[in-house]
């Protein structure tokens, strides 16, 4: 885990990414945690009859990788999610590697807020995209967080 960045260290254009291969266990555990037991995700026979022809991962499982980037890399620890828009463009299948990328697109110094473009891709194809608004700790707040860690 990175120490993260304070609001003062951010600049438009900065980006960070994280990739993860989606497994059977990820889907089953996500269903257990969220209660989303849609057979599209869990039942191969059911999923074969859908437009996808096979089981797919929960869209929010892929989108959840964004929070990993925001909370541990850019901006990092102490970041507070305020909002997130999402558009799902394509399914994620078991065994595919999803790469979540965030990029700083705007900064609001008076409130220490950052707007970030958020995107998940599989083999270079966008499967989900959106925009996040986060509150970012100041340099002094980041130092206090680091001192408690």
Asked if residues 104 and 114 have their Cβ atoms less than 8 Å apart, the reply is yes
Report the CATH number that the domain containing residue 122 is assigned in CATH.
3.10.129.10
Asked if residues 90 and 98 have their Cβ atoms less than 8 Å apart, the reply is no
Asked if residues 112 and 135 have their Cβ atoms less than 8 Å apart, the reply is yes
* Count of domains for the chain: 1
Asked if residues 13 and 103 have their Cβ atoms less than 8 Å apart, the reply is yes
Give pLDDT, residue 114.
98
Question: Can you name the residues that pair with 16 across neighbouring β-strands?
Answer: 102
Determine, yes or no, domain membership for 61. Answer: yes
Task: Please give the mean pLDDT across all residues of the chain.
Answer: 94
pLDDT digits (tens, 9 = 90+) for 20-59: 999 999 999 999 999 999 999 999 999 999 999 999 999 9
Give pLDDT, residue 145.
67
On the question of pLDDT at 66 being above 50, the answer is yes
Give pLDDT, residue 14.
97
Confidence of residue 121 (pLDDT cuts 50, 70, 90): very high
Determine, yes or no, domain membership for 143. Answer: yes
Give pLDDT, residue 1.
45
Give pLDDT, residue 140.
85
Give pLDDT, residue 2.
59
Domain that holds residue 102: 7-22+57-148
What the block records as the tokens of 46 is: 């059911």
DSSP at 138: -
pLDDT digits (tens, 9 = 90+) for 97-116: 999 999 999 999 999 999 99
Determine, yes or no, domain membership for 133. Answer: yes
User: How far, in Å, CA of 50 to CA of 131, rounded?
Assistant: 29
Give the mean pLDDT of 70-74: 94
Determine, yes or no, domain membership for 12. Answer: yes
DSSP 18-51: EEEE--HHHHHHHHHHH----HHHH-HHHHHTST
User: How far, in Å, CA of 18 to CA of 73, rounded?
Assistant: 9
pLDDT digits (tens, 9 = 90+) for 31-42: 999 999 999 999
Radius of gyration for the alpha carbons in the chain, expressed in angstroms and rounded:
17
């Amino acid at each position: 885990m990175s120490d993260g960045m304070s609001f003062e260290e951010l600049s438009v254009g900065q980006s960070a990414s994280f990739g993860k291969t989606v497994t059977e266990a990820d889907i089953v555990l996500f269903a257990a945690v969220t209660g989303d037991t849609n057979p599209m995700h869990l039942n191969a026979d059911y999923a074969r009859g859908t437009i996808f022809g096979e089981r797919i991962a929960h869209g929010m499982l892929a989108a959840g990788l964004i929070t990993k980037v925001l909370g541990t890399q850019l901006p990092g620890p102490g970041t507070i999610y305020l909002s997130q828009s999402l558009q799902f463009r394509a399914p994620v299948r078991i065994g595919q590697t999803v790469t979540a990328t965030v990029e700083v697109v705007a900064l609001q110094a008076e409130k220490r807020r950052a707007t970030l473009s958020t995107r998940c891709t599989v083999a270079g194809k966008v499967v989900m995209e959106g925009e996040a608004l986060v509150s970012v700790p100041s340099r002094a707040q980041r130092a206090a967080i680091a001192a408690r860690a």
